[in-house]
Amino acid sequence: MSRIGEALKQAGVGPSLAERGTSPAAGDLDSFPTAQDPKTTRADAPLEPVPQHPRYAAFQPVERLVIHQDADAIAIEQYRRLAAVLHQAQVDIGTKVIMVASAQPSEGKTLTAANLALTLSESYKRRVLLIDADLRRPALSRLFQLPNRSGLSEDLRSTGDRALHITNLSESLALIPGGGADSDPMAGLTSGRMQQIIAQASASFDWVILDTPPVALLSDTHLLVAMVDAAVLVINAGSTPYALVQQSVETLGREKIIGVVLNRVGRDGLTDSNYYEYYRSSTRRQPFAGDGRISRLPSNEPRG
pLDDT in tens, 225-269: 999 999 999 998 888 898 999 999 999 999 999 999 988 776 555
Q: Rounded to whole angstroms, how far apart are CA atoms 100 and 88? A: 18
The CB density around residue 250, as the number of other CB atoms within 10 Å, is: 12
Domain containing 167 — which CATH number? 3.40.50.300
Average pLDDT rounded to a whole number, residues 290-300: 45
| 264 is a domain residue | yes
Burial category of 271 from C-beta neighbours within 10 Å (exposed 0-12, middle 13-18, buried 19 and up): exposed
For 55, how many CA atoms within 13 A lie in the half-sphere containing its CB?
4
For 164, how many CA atoms within 13 A lie in the half-sphere containing its CB?
27
Please provide the distance, in angstroms rounded to a whole number, between the alpha carbons at the two ends of the chain. 27
Task: For the sheet with 128-132, list strands across it.
Answer: 167-168, 173-176, 128-132, 207-211, 97-102, 230-236, 257-265, 295-298
Q: Rounded to whole angstroms, how far apart are CA atoms 157 and 189? A: 11
**257-265 and 278-282: which strand pairing?**
unpaired
Region of residue 197 (phi > 0: left; psi between -120 and 50: alpha; otherwise: beta): alpha
| 121 is a domain residue | yes
| 36 is a domain residue | no
Asked whether the predicted pLDDT for residue 188 surpasses 50, the reply is yes
Asked whether the predicted pLDDT for residue 290 surpasses 80, the reply is no
Asked whether the predicted pLDDT for residue 160 surpasses 80, the reply is no
| 25 is a domain residue | no
Burial category of 192 from C-beta neighbours within 10 Å (exposed 0-12, middle 13-18, buried 19 and up): exposed
Nearest to 279 by CA among 66, 84, 72, 98: 84
| 38 is a domain residue | no
Indicate the number of domains in the chain. 1
| 105 is a domain residue | yes
The CB density around residue 242, as the number of other CB atoms within 10 Å, is: 13
| 151 is a domain residue | yes
For residue 225, the cross-strand partners are: none
| 37 is a domain residue | no
For residue 87, the cross-strand partners are: none
For 274, how many CA atoms within 13 A lie in the half-sphere containing its CB?
12
| Helix, strand, coil in percent for the chain, rounding step 5 | 35, 20, 45
Burial 111-129 (b: 16+ CB within 10 A, else e): bbbbbbbbbbbbbbebbbb
| Residues spanned by the domain of 141 | 3-15+44-298
Sign of CA dihedral 240, 241, 242, 245: negative
Q: Rounded to whole angstroms, how far apart are CA atoms 222 and 67? A: 33
Helix (H, G, I), strand (E, B) or coil at 178: coil
Band of the pLDDT at 60, cuts 50, 70, 90?
low
pLDDT in tens, 22-35: 333 333 333 323 33
Model pTM score: 0.73
Asked whether the predicted pLDDT for residue 4 surpasses 60, the reply is no
